[in-house]
Amino acid sequence: MSINFGKIMDTLGLDTRADEFTYGKDDRFGILSNAKIPEKWVKTTCGYCSVGCGMEIGVKDGKAITVKGDPDHPVNDGKLCPKGLAEHYIIDAEGRAKYPLIRGWAGFNKASWDDALDTFVTKVKDVQERYGPSSFAVLSTGQLVLEEFYALGKLVQLGFSTNNYDGNTTLCMASAVAGYKRSFGSDGPPGSYEDLEKAETVFLIGANIADNHPILAYRLFKNTSQNPNTKVIVVDPRATKTAMMADVFLPIKPRTDVYLLNGLAHLMIAEGWVDEEFVRKHTTGYDELKEHLERYTLPHVAKVTKLTEGKIYETARAIGTSKSTFFAWTMGVNHSTQGTETVNAINNLALLTGNIGREGASPFSITGQCNAMGSREASFTSSAPGYRKFESKDHRKELAAMWNIAEEELPIKRGLAYPDIIKGIIDGEIKALWIIATNPLVSYPDQARLKEALSKLEFLCVQDCYHPTPTSEIAHLVLPAAMWGEKEGSYTNSERRCSKANKAVEPPGSAKSDFDICLALAEKLRIREKLYPGWTTPEDAFNEWRQVSKGRLCDYSGMSYERLAEGPIQWPSTEEDPYGGDRLYKDGKFQTENARAKFFCIRNELPPEEPDSEYPFLLNTGRTVEHWHTRTKTGKVAILEKSQPEAWIEINPKDAKKLGVQNHDRVKVQSRRGQVDGLRVRATSIVAPGQVFVPFHFFETNVNNLTLDDACPISREPNFKQCAVRIER
C-alpha cells in the first residue's frame, strides 16, 4: 500500500479494543476516565450507521455509563469507531423529548398521551375528510428497528389509507435500490463484508469509508495486511482519507463517473477480460452494450474525466484480470440526478466480469443508516413488504391473504417519494405531515423551498427522541420517542445481517417506543386487532414478519429472537437453511422474469448546475468521522463536539490565493438559492482547483441552504453533490 494504513486506523481509534477504554487503560478520547464499573452488560447493536457493529452497554443504577465492542460479533471484532465509543452519552444528553407537547397560542403545552394521540387522529382525519386520504403524508427514517418499520407501514397504509409514505433513506440510498432493481430484478446488496476482506481488487467509487464507515476501513485493512497483492482503487474528486489508502487514486472530474465506468467496460471487452460464459448464461443486452461502448475509447474517456490513460488502463486491468473484484459505493454515487444509472453502470462492470455471487466478488452499496435495509424490506416505502411489487396483482393478493384484508386496501403503485411530498405540500395537495426520527430542516436540500413547504401545512407532527430540534420547533404536535438502548427490536445492516438491538435502560419521562406509539394510534383508530392481531411486544411483529418474508429474496423465516440472541444472521435465512445467506445470486439466477440480469446502455448527463462567471466554484458535500447526520445526537456528546465543533470549507490553495483568503479566515458562500456565513477556511490540496467541500452536519452553517433539490428521475434521490457557488471574505 502507498500509505501506512495502520496509522490511519490509529487516528480513527480502531487499533484498540473498546474494552481497554472501559477501565481507563487507554483514554485518548477522554470519555471513560471517571466511568464506574457497570453492574451488568447488555448486548446490542450500534444505532448509527449501516455497518451494524455489535456492542455492549454497561449499566449501573439504571443508567448507561459506558459501552464496549462485542468481540464475538462477526462485523467488528470488538472494535468501535469514535461515535460508537461515545454512544451511551446520547441517552442521558440534554434535550431529550420526555412528554407529548401540543402547540398553543403562546407555545408548547405539556400534554398526556391520551390527549396527544386524540389530537393526532382528529387533525389527520379532519384533513383527510376535507382533502382526501392522500392529503396526509409521512416521512420516516432509517433508524427505527425493523419491527417498528413493519408496524408503521401497516398503520400508514391500512390505518390512514395513504401511500404517500417515504423516508430519509431516499436522501441516501434510493439510487442504489433502484439500480439493483433495474439490473437484478430486486433490491438487496449481493455480497458480504467477508468479500471486502477476500477480494483481490477493491474498487471504491464515491465512498469515503475511512470517515463514513470506519469499521469497513478496518475490514479493508485486514485484507491488505494479509494479502499484500490486493489492489485498492479509489475514485473520488476529493483526496479523502480513503483515497490516501489507495494503490490507485483516480481524482475524477465531478460528474464524469459514467464516462469512466463505460470506458472501463469498453476496455474489458477490447482486452478480452469479459467472463463470456457468465454473460452468455446469465445476462441480457450484451450486444447492445458492446455497440454502445464503442465511442468510449481510452483517449476520449481520459480527456473527459481529467484522468491519465495509464491510470484508467491500470484500473481496468486490475478489475479484468483479478480472480475477484469488490465494487463498493455510497453517497458519492447516489447523490446525483443520474444516481440510478451510475449504479447500473457499476453493475454492468460486475456482470461483464462475473463478479457477483461468489467469494470476494460483488457490486455492493454501502447503506447509510443503521436500519435502512429494514425500511427497504418491511415497509411500504420503496416496495411493499418483502420486496413485493406494488403493481403485481399476485403480490397484492398474497399479502392481503396473509393480513386477512381486502386486496383493494393495498396500493397499486408507490406513493409520492420524499421530494415529491415536499412539492405536493407546496402545490397544496398535502396538508398534514408526520415526520418520524428525522430532521429535514438540516438534512434536506434547498432549505428555502423546504421552509416554504412546511409553512403551508395545516398540521405537522414531529416524533423524535430529542426536542427542540430545528424541525420539532415548528411542529404543532411533538411525540416523545424512546431511542437506541431504551427499546427492543432488530437492525439489518448493509450486508443483510440482522442483529438484535436490546433494551438496557428505561426511556425518560413518559417517552414511548415508536412501536408502542404505532399500537396506541391503532387503538385510537379502533383497528389495533386488525393491524396487529395479538401483538404486545416487538417479537410478535418479528414473528409475523418472518412469515410475510417467507419465500421472498429477503427471507427471515429461519430467524427467531432465540437464534438472534446467539448471534446475528444474514438473509435469506430459510427454515431449512437458517444460516445460508452469505451471498445472493450464487446460482446465477436473478429476480427478473427470465432469471437473467440486465445490461444498461448509459449515457453521461451534465449536472443540473455548473460553475459560471457569477458562481465559479463547484460545491461538494459530505460527512466527517466525528458526527452523524444533523448532529441531533453527536452534537450533544462533548468529546465529539469538541473534536469537530463547526463546519469548514476546503478550498484549493491556488483558489485561496486568488480569493485573498488563508487558513482560519471566515468566508461567505452563496448559491442561487441561499447563502452560508462564517465558514472557516481550510486551504488544502485535498480538493482540486475550482472545487470546494463543506460537511453537511451543521445547522448553524447549513450547507443545504446552498444545495439544489433536483433529483434522480428514477430513484427521486436529490442531487446533493454538485452545485455552483461563489465565495467572499
Question: 344 and 224 in one domain?
Answer: yes
Report whether 247 contacts 234 (CB < 8 A): no
- Into how many domains does the chain fold? 4
What confidence tens digit (pLDDT) does each residue in 145-198 have? 999 999 999 999 999 999 999 999 999 999 999 999 999 999 999 999 999 999
Q: How many CA atoms does the CB half-sphere of 637 hold within 13 Å? A: 26
**Predicted pLDDT at 368:** 86
CA dist., res. 233 & res. 160, Å (int)? 48
**Predicted pLDDT at 30:** 43
The reply to whether 608 falls in a domain is no
Question: 537 and 670 in one domain?
Answer: no
**Predicted pLDDT at 23:** 31
Question: 158 and 206 in one domain?
Answer: no
On the question of pLDDT at 417 being above 80, the answer is yes
Question: 377 and 442 in one domain?
Answer: yes
492: phi then psi, degrees, rounded to nearest 5: -120, 125
On the question of pLDDT at 35 being above 60, the answer is no
On the question of pLDDT at 659 being above 50, the answer is yes
**Predicted pLDDT at 3:** 42
CA dist., res. 224 & res. 288, Å (int)? 37
Burial class for 386, CB neighbours closer than 10 Å (0-12, 13-18, 19+): buried
Report whether 486 contacts 540 (CB < 8 A): no
Question: 383 and 354 in one domain?
Answer: no
Question: 359 and 379 in one domain?
Answer: no
Strand pairing report for 497-501 and 489-492: antiparallel
Closest-CA residue to 665 (of 656, 674, 655): 656
Question: 80 and 111 in one domain?
Answer: no
**Predicted pLDDT at 32:** 47
Q: Using CA atoms in the order 484, 490, 491, 495, what is the torsion angle rounded to 10 degrees?
A: 150
The last residue of one of the domains, among 310, 330, 365, is 365
The reply to whether 607 falls in a domain is no
The last residue of one of the domains, among 54, 71, 90, is 90
On the question of pLDDT at 591 being above 80, the answer is yes
The reply to whether 178 falls in a domain is no
pTM of the complete model: 0.94
Question: 353 and 419 in one domain?
Answer: no
Sign for the CA dihedral angle at 634, 638, 639, 644 comes to positive
Closest-CA residue to 21 (of 10, 7, 35): 35
The reply to whether 609 falls in a domain is no
The last residue of one of the domains, among 307, 331, 365, is 365
Question: 75 and 38 in one domain?
Answer: yes
The reply to whether 604 falls in a domain is no
**Predicted pLDDT at 382:** 87
Q: Which of 10-24, 222-236, 463-477, 515-529 shows the lowest mean pLDDT across its residues?
A: 10-24
What percent of the chain lies above the pLDDT cut of 70? 95
CA dist., res. 334 & res. 170, Å (int)? 10
The three three-digit cell numbers of residue 72, written as one number:
464475538
Q: How many CB atoms lie within 10 A of CB 106?
A: 6
What confidence tens digit (pLDDT) does each residue in 65-81 have? 999 999 999 999 999 99
On the question of pLDDT at 585 being above 50, the answer is yes
Residues 48-71 have a mean pLDDT of 97
Containing domain of residue 681, as a range? Answer: 617-728
Question: 71 and 144 in one domain?
Answer: no
CA dist., res. 298 & res. 313, Å (int)? 8
The reply to whether 83 falls in a domain is yes
**Predicted pLDDT at 430:** 98
The reply to whether 582 falls in a domain is no
Whichever domain contains 212, its CATH number is 3.40.228.10
What confidence tens digit (pLDDT) does each residue in 529-539 have? 999 999 999 99
Whichever domain contains 34, its CATH number is 2.20.25.90
Whichever domain contains 719, its CATH number is 2.40.40.20
Residues 616-628 have a mean pLDDT of 95
Burial 23-60 (b: 16+ CB within 10 A, else e): eeeeeeeebbeebeebeebbbbbbbbbbbbbbbbbbbe
The reply to whether 361 falls in a domain is yes
On the question of pLDDT at 6 being above 80, the answer is no
The three three-digit cell numbers of residue 635, written as one number:
452534537
Question: 204 and 133 in one domain?
Answer: no
> pLDDT averaged over the chain?
94
Residues 348-356 have a mean pLDDT of 98
Question: 502 and 377 in one domain?
Answer: yes
Rounded to 10 deg, the angle between the 538-549 and 393-403 helix axes is: 140
